[in-house]
Amino acid sequence: MAALDLDVFRSKQFVFIIGEAQAEFTVHAAIVAKQSKALNALINGSMKEAFAGKAIFEDVEEDTFIRFCQFAYTGDYTTPDFIHIPAVELPDIAPPAILDDTDRDEPVVDVPVVEEVPVVEEVPMAEEPAPVLDDFGWGTAAQRPKKPKKPSKSSRLRQSLHDRLYDTETTRTLSAARCGVRQNSDPSEDYTTVFLGHAQLYVFAEKWGIKSLKTLTLFKLHRTLTTFTLYEARRPDIVELLRYAFSNSHTPDLVDDVDDLRSLIMLYTACEVESLVQCPEFLLLIGEGGQLAQDLVQVLMQRIS
């Protein structure tokens, strides 16, 4: 992301009241206004929020707004964390008994022990150094190495300046890890919060016309889905994502088009339908009908046509 203008930090502060808990977030007005025309009108237009310097977003989760602020200031946002669900303990299984010689039916045959003969390693003879010929007509004169020139104190000081190192990769790596997409690796990792975190931020970006943030959320959700291992225990995670995305209060039904979030999730669902149909929660959701069932049928037709 390009460096922020100084005018951003010199701009007035704007207060957002977020969620049911009415949590207050104070941000620079200019950084929010530059995200979209709608947000610019909210902050700098003729609405009451612009005059009061305050806006109330009751339908937005605190975590969603925090990620929006991260994006506004840095161009990226922290990937939501998964929830670790403790696995059911497996029953204790006694290890197989080890039979000794008295328990065996076959007779024990004594095997004579063969003593190992030590191997004597040959020590290579040291090579005699080649004689150094002098300059008395008996051969070529020996080349005496020149003593290296001792660097001056001034040059050593300058070299120490050039050799000084500072670790910036660790900070960059940690920042990239926080914002990167992580692949699940165990059935105990509940990814519902991860999926919904991206989806909720998409809905916020869609509502306020923040195209670049919409694209980023779709990119991260796509990477998460395509690397997601659909364990049996994790099928309900996808069901919750479907339920959220196909709720009209989040992404309304479109007459001649399909919402980008719905389109991505439905394509994944069609690819994994053989696994999802074994999930009771998925069957109940499909049984409710509506746009979700219609879209699924249309996408599945592409597999058989």
User: In 10 A of CB 160, how many CB atoms?
Assistant: 9
- pLDDT(135) > 70: no
pTM of the predicted model as reported, rounded to 2 decimal places:
0.74
Quick one: pLDDT at residue 36?
97
User: In 10 A of CB 84, how many CB atoms?
Assistant: 10
Of the listed ranges 23-27, 118-122, 255-259, the least confidently predicted one is: 118-122
How much is the mean pLDDT over the chain?
83
- 172-185 residue pLDDT tens: 787 777 888 999 99
Largest CA distance in the chain: 108
List strands edge to edge, sheet with 54-57.
23-28, 13-18, 54-57
- pLDDT(156) > 50: yes
Tell me the pLDDT band of 93, cut-offs 50, 70 and 90: very low
Quick one: pLDDT at residue 220?
96
Q: Which residues contact 52 (CB under 8 A, 6 or more apart)?
A: none
- pLDDT(235) > 80: yes
Q: Is 167 left (phi over 0), alpha (psi -120 to 50) or beta?
A: beta
- pLDDT(137) > 90: no
User: In 10 A of CB 296, how many CB atoms?
Assistant: 18
Higher pLDDT pick, 7 / 75: 75
Higher pLDDT pick, 10 / 24: 24
Q: What percent of the chain has pLDDT over 70?
A: 78
- pLDDT(163) > 50: yes
Tell me the pLDDT band of 148, cut-offs 50, 70 and 90: confident
Quick one: pLDDT at residue 279?
97
| Beta bridge partners of residue 223, listed in sequence order | none
Quick one: 181 exposed, middle or buried, by C-beta within 10 A (0-12, 13-18, 19+)? middle
Instruction: Please give the average per-residue pLDDT across 280-303, as a whole number.
Output: 91
Quick one: pLDDT at residue 104?
44
Cα–Cα distance between 89 and 33 in angstroms, integer?
A: 52
Cα–Cα distance between 217 and 113 in angstroms, integer?
A: 71
Instruction: Please give the average per-residue pLDDT across 257-261, as a whole number.
Output: 85
Quick one: pLDDT at residue 69?
97
CB 205 within 8 A of CB 217: yes
Output DSSP code: residue 91.
Answer: P
Instruction: Please give the average per-residue pLDDT across 274-281, as a whole number.
Output: 96
